[in-house]
Structure 1
Amino acid sequence: MGDNRNTMESLRLQFPALPAGKAEDIGEWTYTMRREMQEIVPGVYLGPYSAAMKSKLHVLESRGVTHVVCVRQDIEANFVKPNFPERFRYLVLDIADSPLENIIRYFPVTKDFIDDCLQAGGKALIHGNAGISRSAALVIAYIMETFGLKYREAFLYLQQRRFCINPNAGFVNQLLVRTVLSLVIPGVRCTWKYTSLQLPCTGTK
């Protein structure tokens, strides 16, 4: 874990815009941790669907989660779904884990959702089925835009928190395009049409 801390400290020194707040210490990475969520930056978690299942409500509440980005495709809708719409605010995105999927169009709505969550004092969990490709790509994009990092820098930062991430080649290419666009046109946002479902929180929490 010493190397992990050294790498993160090196990244923070190189990129001062990275969050100074301390995220949870994940300890030494083990294979079973891929089934759990990890805090990437203060208030933003990444994990698999297993971290958002009904049996995990107590964990979500203990971590202070208030918002959830649920990433799935149509064939997964029966088992990857919002389990607590009465407690948390959800953003549901229909994204296939395919190199041909145009994931870049979902970057702005995801960032806006997370930003709104943090500004309201909440915490957000971003999950797909495994928390490795689709949801990881969205979090990388969030880190890139929020902290002004290039793809490789954001990937390395995220990997220090969730070692198992592995966005598919198509997503990586789109994140690289996002890097180029940000260099050519500072502040650019990729706003291709997207389809999403937002579920308002109906509870009092």
Structure 2
Amino acid sequence: MLQLCQVTSTLFISNASSACTSELIQREAVTLCINVTRQQPFPKCGVATMRVPLLDEPSEDLYVHFDECADAIQREAQHGGRTVVYCKNGRSRSAAICIAYLMKHHRVALADALQEVKAARHVIDPNPGFMAQLRRYEDELKRQESQ
């Protein structure tokens, strides 16, 4: 089933086939597509795009992209836009980016952010490497907050 799963009023998570369906992108008024893959395509409907070229491997360094992606999602929301984050299956890479966004800009704990994204898309399951990076990111955000 093709669908964009709504995490917040301005954030969706999806798999590549749904995110590349122009009708869905237009129906949900998506203005930014963050593609967390090396080779999956972008939708062909003239929205802003951003690529994070990683494989779904625990050894990949997604951590270095958390701030950049979270800030892009937040900027889009502040300008009245909506973002979809996707990877091939919409389970691991895209979920980790959505969780990082909730942690940074909604000040949600990792466990709560994970549940929030899982409530939107029940199949999410960030790989163990990405979960470790999210724990590190949570620690870093807490450190920044306490300074």
> What TM-score, normalized to structure 1?
0.68
Q: Is the 8 A contact 2:4 2:24 kept in 1?
A: no
**2: CA distance between counterparts of 1:89 and 1:42?**
18
Following superposition, which runs of at least 4 residues in structure 1 exceed 3 angstroms of deviation?
none
The yes-or-no answer on 1:155 pairing with 2:114 is yes
**2: CA distance between counterparts of 1:60 and 1:158?**
19
**2: CA distance between counterparts of 1:121 and 1:133?**
27
Q: Is the 8 A contact 2:36 2:87 kept in 1?
A: yes
**2: CA distance between counterparts of 1:174 and 1:59?**
31
How big is the alpha-carbon RMSD for the aligned residues of Structure 1 and Structure 2?
1.6
Deviation, structure 1 residue 157? 1.4
Partner in structure 1 of residue 143 of structure 2: 184
Partner in structure 1 of residue 127 of structure 2: 168
Give secondary structure in 1 for the equivalent of 2:111.
helix
**2: CA distance between counterparts of 1:89 and 1:64?**
12
Partner in structure 2 of residue 49 of structure 1: 16
The yes-or-no answer on 1:71 pairing with 2:36 is yes
Deviation, structure 1 residue 187? 7.4
The yes-or-no answer on 1:60 pairing with 2:25 is yes
Residue 43 of structure 2: which of 72, 80, 83 is its match? Answer: 83
Identity of aligned pairs, percent?
Answer: 22
Q: For residue 134 of structure 2, what is the amino acid of its counterpart?
A: L
Residue 146 of structure 1: which of 96, 105, 112 is its match? Answer: 105
Give secondary structure in 1 for the equivalent of 2:33.
strand
In structure 2, relative to structure 1, the CA distance for the partners of 1:66 and 1:167 (3 Å cut) is same
Q: For residue 48 of structure 1, what is the amino acid of its counterpart?
A: N
Larger CA Rg, structure 1 vs 2: 1
Q: Which runs of 5+ in 1 are unaligned?
A: 1-31, 189-205
Q: Which runs of 5+ in 2 are unaligned?
A: none
> What TM-score, normalized to structure 2?
0.93
**1: CA distance between counterparts of 2:11 and 2:24?**
15
Q: How many residues align?
A: 147
**2: CA distance between counterparts of 1:37 and 1:98?**
24
Give secondary structure in 2 for the equivalent of 1:177.
helix
Spell out, residue by residue over 1:67-106, the C-alpha distance to the aligned partner (whole angstroms, 9 max, x if none): 1001112xxx2xx11232x610000110111111111100
